[in-house]
Structure 1
Amino acid sequence: MTQRERLTEQLDKGTLECLVCCDRVKQFDQVWSCSNCYHVLHLRCIRKWAMSSMVEGKWRCPACQNTNEAIPTEYRCMCGAVRAPEYQRGAAGAHTCGRACRRARACPHPCTLLCHPGPCPPCQATVVKQCGCGAESRSILCSSKLPQVCGRTCGRTLECGVHTCAKDCHEGPCDTCTETVEQVCFCPAAKSRSVPCTAETGGVSSWECGDACGRVLACGAHVCRAKCHAPPCPACQLLPKHVKTCPCGNTQLAKDSRKSCTDPIPLCGNICAKPLNCGPAGDKHFCKLNCHEGPCPECPDKTVLQCLCGHSSREVPCADLPAMYNNVMCQKKCNKKLSCGRHRCRTLCCAATSHRCGVVCGRTLSCQTHRCEEFCHTGHCAPCPRVSFEELTCECGAEVILPPVRCGTRPPACSAPCIRERPCKHPPHHSCHSGDCPPCVVLTTKRCHGDHEERKTIPCSQEEFSCGLPCGKPLPCGKHTCIKTCHKGPCDTGKCTQPCMEKRPSCGHPCAAPCHVAAGTSCPSTAPCRRPVRATCPCNRRHAERACADNARDLAKMMSALAATKMSEGGSVDLSDVQRPGNMLKTLECDDECRVEARTRQLALALQIRNPDVSAKLAPRYSEHVRATAAREPAFANQIHDKLTELVQLAKKSKQKTRAHSFPSMNWQKRQFIHELCEHFGCESVAYDAEPNRNVVATADREKSWLPAMSVLEVLAREAGKRRVPGPVLRAPPAASPAAPAPSHSTQHAVTKSTGGWATLTSTNAWAARSQPKPQPAAAPPAEKIDYFDNPPDN
């Protein structure tokens, strides 16, 4: 099937694809056909293609890369005779006019077919054609490409017009003449030369050599000074009839002043003033000598010449003007943008009117294989001009793209299954493609690198995998195993750097030094043990992280001091209690606060007072954030403290184990204040929801929550030296009336002042008195005495 038949069938069925949009060309679409390759495309697509790929007023056909200047604007039939042809099913082909094809051909005969896509068939008309030399005439087809020769000698006159062609009869012009011609010049020297026989030299036997003629003129006294020329020579220019003035031309000569050409020409004695061949137009210099014969000497003056770009100028001797014209240059760089718009002209003293970039573009074309070979330009590079005229098929050959195929075109998509055989012998699960096959995704059963476990969900393409567990293989030291995550290949065989786990004989802690001994041997003497231990004071109030060696040193000093004390008192030395594991870490000394707590505890035991709401630390250590927030917003801090106090009291009285309270939404600083304050109440705090609706929920436990001894506001007030005067304490008279019994021991408060702060001790019934409202008596007894304390109670 020819291209014409294939295009006709595809256009009639609407199956032809546009090379630009890859959509089908329907019978009613406006189309455009290339005059070179006859490809048919959408008119709208080719217009966009032409306007976007226009480079220097030209654009290329997307199929054959033929250059065009005019952008298509009209929809015409395939032969171009009818504008916007109408499609009638069954009447004529799609996008044709139905008339005789009027497409222009190389011969004068019209096409015999109706309007059609694709190239016209060869012309079948019979014409009379002569052979190459014109000796014979034959009747042949107009489209015949066979050479017409008769076999005789050509004999046609060559280009020189003198010789004839000696080749056999042939078509086309004859070759150039290969003969030579001997020529002699006109001057008396009679120089000769041999030149090729051409249209100019054929039949010409003389030439002008360019030297002075040298023939004696008709006057007999002078010779011809003109260049070599054909005779005769001109008349002598020194004859009296030719010389009318003095040599400078300013004074007329008398009629009888000269009789012959040999007589001297009278001089006028004035300045010559002839214009010299120097200086710019309109500003020439003149000869400054007196009137003289012969040519004027060179000008001794200087002329100001501008550089090529006109930026500067300089003086040049007039004698050097012929060589300096257009050669005076300055050192200023042009710095104008070139035609590409990317580079700048860096030429010194540039006088160019158009700055065309001479750098090769070199950008990668859309085919991703070749680079742009044009000069640097604006806009996108033109499509790759390379075209292949071989069919492009998919890997299996089921799908084909017919030529011409643009460079960079991908193989056609194919839905058939891939026909390549995998090394693993698993069937492919992907379609036909170009390039390497994707990894096999069939799930198989494989073991990990370290042979720890077996998994059944490993893709076939994955050779090995890591289970994520420690390797566990024994190292060369014999005491450790590989701690790396399950890995491929052998474990490190170098020196083991893991810490030695042999226990020290002094403290029982691991050696912790890098592995330094072989299996079965003991550790050598090592540095002091630096493992941190938690040291406390004897009352367990103070604690600190210390190195084991420092703690052992202090313990040894304590033992030595204790032994010295026992020996000085004459008693026996028994350090068994001190050397117990629990007592070996009590190496810190108690401070004043420890002594205050010890005295407070002793007083509480002596008075048999217990208050579960008083924590072990009478002055809680609030963080800096809590202190800063309370100092900045005391009302907010007091509100949160009261709400947490109420929550803890409710949890203590409730039958449920826990009670919770949800605070309203607030910023993160206030939420942090609640979180840290809950730690002093023994409550759990959790934040919920996202910003800006994030809030905190506090949960109090009946058994684990407590009330702090002092609020943060009270701590700040005490540190600031402020004291609050408490209310009066009413004591009943000695003789109590039955209506108002004397207060019992359980309702009295004992306040003890000691070093380090105030401590408030309440009775056993204080919790009930705090959690429940006090009943008011019917008639208050008269007050016997009012006592004021220096400081308010801390609880």
Structure 2
Amino acid sequence: MEAAWRHGGRGRGRGRTGPSPAANGPGGRGRARGGGGALGSGSVPGANELASQKKFDEIKRANQAAAKKLVEDQFSSSSEDDDDDDVEGKHGKILAKTFTTYTNQTDGDLRELERTRQYLNEAFQSGAMTCLICIASVKRNQAVWSCSGCFCIFHVPCIQKWAKDSLFLVSSPLTDDDFGKKEYPWPCPKCRFEYKRSDIPTRYYCYCAKVEDPPLDPWLVPHSCGQVCERDFRPPCGHKCLILCHPGPCPPCPKMVLTTCYCQKAKPVPRRCSTKEWSCQLPCGRKLPCGQHSCEKSCHPGVCEPCPRVSKQSCVCGRRVAERLCASPLWQCDQVCRKTLPCGYHACEQVCHAGPCGECPRSGKRFCPCGKSKFSLPCTEDVPTCGDSCDKVLECGIHRCSQRCHRGPCEICRQEVEKQCRCGKHSKQMPCHRPYLCESKCAKIRDCQKHQCKRKCCPGNCPPCDQVCARTLGCRNHKCPSVCHRGSCYPCPETVDVKCSCGKTVVKVPCGRERTTKPPRCKELCRQPPTCHHPSREKHSCHFGPCPPCRQPCKKSLEKCRHLCPAACHDEALVKQSGQHQPAGPWEQSSEPAFIQTALPCPPCQVPIPTQCLGKHEVSYDSCQPLMRIRTIHN
């Protein structure tokens, strides 16, 4: 009707609702212009409503498609498994390409490459390579630096800030006289390997340090240039690494060289350079240091061990004989020599010794106790005192002994002097031998820039702070156990296990990353017991949360016909409630709440059973449930 009004709006506007010939003709123009204008203006709101409805339908379809895609991404595990297989295959190709040069020049034994292969595997795993300074993942497109001691990888800006902070903390207690005389090192955050100030990284290089700013290539090891490593092996053997640019330590040298055994008795044989030292297992036969026996051990490296045999040996003075190890023939007993000296009056007071006893220590010219006079007396007489003042420097190091020449040690210094305390704030008249410490406590801040010294009578050389830092580390789980210090604390050295739901698959991450690390994908089967009447669940991988509903056939025996139920298991079924939730507006997507309902009844039996008519003329196949109903009626 609205369309008819729009098409015929130029007539009189009364009577018939449809278009009339008079309205379309020349006679229908005069008197209905006002009404025609009013009806003509009503066509604009109708067009706006159609455009709005069309735009709303487009937005609704887009939102429904996005929600459907989100649900598929969350609950479809088969596609993720396929992607993981593709990624693993890609990583396997890159590893095989990296080890190509190494395997071509060896006999194919790859057991020695396991350590380096482990570093390469961690380079591909997301979250395995973590910067211990900022505790963040190391990505492919970020500039990194590798420690030459522990091969740990850090971000270049992080290690630069770490090195500068370490140098500042070391050089802060230096004085102006010490500045510039010694170059202090900075340590690696993990292994504490020390580097010079000039070793602070300023540019981003690949692992073998050949290419600056290596380009990002998805078919190469991250942060690698793809060229042959050519770094010297450790320990140095004269050869260079043959695999492609890689993280971690270089594998053992694979070169083949001719080498003989440790004892040099066997003929040279070809062996790997990394394991060129070998034993022929024959007796060594080299003379031992004792000079009496030969080495009975099998061919071994280095110097032969001391002789393990026991023999009777005399002491140095020859008075006693005892059984001792052949490796230590020289030994001393605990007896004093007591041999008569050449003077004929005194005996040797040395403990068991070799050779002559020497001259009498009291023979010849001897000094008095103060050392000013010299006397020539026989060894039987004691040296007298000279009578002069002792004049030896006392323990204070300032005054001298005022007593006459005497035997034995000098007395303590008892002179009264004005002594200044150690910090220099007070002075007092007191004996020279007594130290003077005032009660003033030092108010200076220690090198930690947090705590006061508070030491009594401190001269200014305040000791380092001895309190525990106890600041919360970046992991937010542990506190710093180091002594109170300036600057940032060392990273937490602990590691945390991130496990799957069953606990069989474990990934070790630095402490603090367990909150953001995604649990590892477990390939073990789920071991949760079934909650329905079936003895076991359908096989599916380990997962978090509740298990999916059972999809096995019910196979319960029906009560009336004793047939087995062919429907899917309905002990726990997901049931949707329709009409319970009203959307607030057209922008809200309609969703039906669902809940799990237990012990649903089995559906009616649909097994076809042959049935004859009452006159037994025809046979028809009806379902079991209607047949049971018919039999009930006839009975």
TM-score between the two structures when normalised by the length of structure 2: 0.45
Q: When you count helix as a share of all residues, which structure comes out higher? A: 2
Higher relative contact order (CA 8 A, sep 6+): 2
Give the number of the structure whose alpha-carbon radius of gyration is greater: 1
